[in-house]
Amino acid sequence: MKLYEKGSINIWSDPYIRKQLLCAHINPESDAASRKPDTINTTIDWVLKNRAAPGSLIDFGCGPGLYANEISERGWHVVGIDINEESVEYAERYAASKGLSARYVLGSYLEKLHVGIFDIVTCIYCDFGALTPDDRMSFLENVKSLLTVNGTFVLDVFGEQICQIKSEGRSWSREEEHNFWSESPCYVLTECQHFKEHNVWGEKYVVIPDTGQPFSTVIWTHYFTVESITLLLADSGFNVTEINQDLVQESDFSSSEVIFIRAEKSNPINSVR
């Protein structure tokens, strides 16, 4: 595996796999794709704390709207964006059934967005750490362009503990029909590699179905310290105002060491020395 290698498909937009991801998102007993309800509610309370009145918020990588719809129920003007069509449609149906004003956009948060200006931008469940350095810069520019002056950016990233639950190596498995990867039975070849000098793990999956063409996907997982994420955000025009490492008490899918960051967009006028 090469550093920042890309697979032949994107699992979040693949017509079959995106349906399996939606099922994982809305399963309240698992945190494989979204965190469990108690953690979601605790996170929302923290995101909105010290806000005297509802404002506006956009959720990057909103999935099926588990955060966005709850925040909308609390009186906020909310927009969610995601590339998984199944998840966006689910979020829209839920919002409509509850009479919520939340609006959803099918698209990528790496592309220029024309959806308004917001008091808060959120990106939850460590999406930021899955981005390559080049994509990370595009992402942060989009965040800044959508925030009000001194607007707030809330995100979370994995800490170094992720290295204790991952291990390098290669393996394979035989999956029956209607599995996560394919409707038909398939072989799944897996490779996991640690690029220590870049603080990132790569997981590559090659799927060989009995019917259809083989395909691959690669998932990147960066990890950070409080100091490294603070410096990275500062270099991109954000001042970190609060760190919380207690919102995720347990995880049955990945590391429970998650660093939540609240940062404000730097005011260029105030930054002049």
pTM: 0.94
What was the pLDDT predicted at 102?
98
Q: What is the pLDDT of residues 27-53, one digit of tens each?
A: 999 888 899 999 999 999 999 998 989
The set of residues, in sequence order, having a beta carbon less than 8 Å from that of 70 and lying 6+ positions away, is: 40, 41, 44
In the sheet where 169-175 sits, what is the strand order? Answer: 169-175, 186-195, 200-209, 215-222
What was the pLDDT predicted at 52?
84
Q: How far is CA 174 from the centre of its chain?
A: 29
DSSP 257: -
What was the pLDDT predicted at 272?
38
What was the pLDDT predicted at 249?
76
Ranges of each domain in the chain: 15-158+224-265, 163-220
Find out if CATH 2.40.50.140 is the number for domain 15-158+224-265.
no
* DSSP state string for 91-126: HHHHHHHHT---EEEES-TTS---S--EEEEEE-SS
